[in-house]
Structure 1
Amino acid sequence: MASDLPPDIDGLAWAAERGLGALAEKMGMRFTEFTIERCVATMPVEGNTQPVGLLHGGAYVVLGESLGSMAANLHAGPGRLAVGVDINATHTRPATSGIVTGVCTPVHLGRSMTVHEIAVSDDQGRRCSTIRITNMIKEMPAAN
């Protein structure tokens, strides 16, 4: 799985410099590992729940899209941009407290398209949701 990036790039520093975006920050996401082959982030359940106290299904998807899109952009390299074109999620267990952890791994890393799978688990290591995201890679638009 080739990339145009130098092999010694610090993915966490790259992600910190780029920023998570306002939504990810509001949801309390924290990246803990960030390479082209594996990205990991955590998110608290508290503050991201449905009215009945379960982690909102959309919160799982936001975590998955944040991880998958950032991973695709790291792979895309300088001067290129990855944009989401498809995402789906299957929720298999509710999370009601603590934190959830998303682990993002590539399924396909191409020159024009990437596919990532994100497994989201609760504090006990039980899988709660599986997300798959497809990103299209294109040249960065020219600045106006």
Structure 2
Amino acid sequence: MEGKTIPQRETLDATLGVRYLKLEKEEVVAELEVTPRVHQPFGFLHGGATVALAESVASVGGFLNCPPGHAAFGLEINCNHIRRKSQGTIRAVGRPLHVGRTTQVWEVKVYDEEGKLVAASRCTLAVVPLEPRT
């Protein structure tokens, strides 16, 4: 991960149970167990949980590609939900489409255990300098 770490504290990722498997500038992979905790009222994976997973993967990838003293923040995300899921594990694979000085664009595809596409997402990030905290 080239000297960068992901802060470990009470985050949305921790609440959802996201597990990062691969952290590289060219690819970020994370898994999420589909349990009632991430279901919508009818017993299927909530689209919001899928989008949160996709944005987390894109944001971590963006962070890995930022120069020192900068961070990446989401500007826009879209997600096409292809297949429903009620149990098992989903895996999000994020890859950069564009890594620029001020923006990044990430494609995140979410698969089930059989490699079938569950969702496809694209996330645009802004790369901004961090102000020193006082």
TM-score range, shorter-chain basis? Answer: over 0.9
Question: Which amino acid counterpart does residue 13 of structure 2 have in structure 1?
Answer: A
Name the TM-score, length of structure 2 as normaliser.
0.93
Give secondary structure in 2 for the equivalent of 1:42: strand
| Gap runs ≥5 in structure 2 | none
Aligned pairs, number: 133
Give secondary structure in 2 for the equivalent of 1:71: helix
CA distance in 1, matches of 2:46, 2:71: 29
Greater fraction of residues in strand: 2
Aligned: 1:32 with 2:21: yes
Question: Which amino acid counterpart does residue 49 of structure 2 have in structure 1?
Answer: A
Give secondary structure in 1 for the equivalent of 2:61: helix
Once the two structures are superposed, the pairs formed by residues 52-131 of structure 1 within 5 Å of their partners are 52-131=42-121
* Structure 1 stretches of at least 4 aligned residues deviating more than 6 Å after TM superposition: none
Q: Deviations over 1:47-91 (max 9, x none)?
A: 101111110000010000100011101101320011111100000
| Gap runs ≥5 in structure 1 | 1-7
Give secondary structure in 2 for the equivalent of 1:67: helix
Distance change (3 Å), C-alpha of 1:35 and 1:59: same
CA distance in 1, matches of 2:106, 2:128: 17
Taking only the aligned residue pairs, the percentage that are identical comes to 32
Q: Deviations over 1:7-58 (max 9, x none)?
A: x7166xx23xx23751110101000001000000000110101111110000
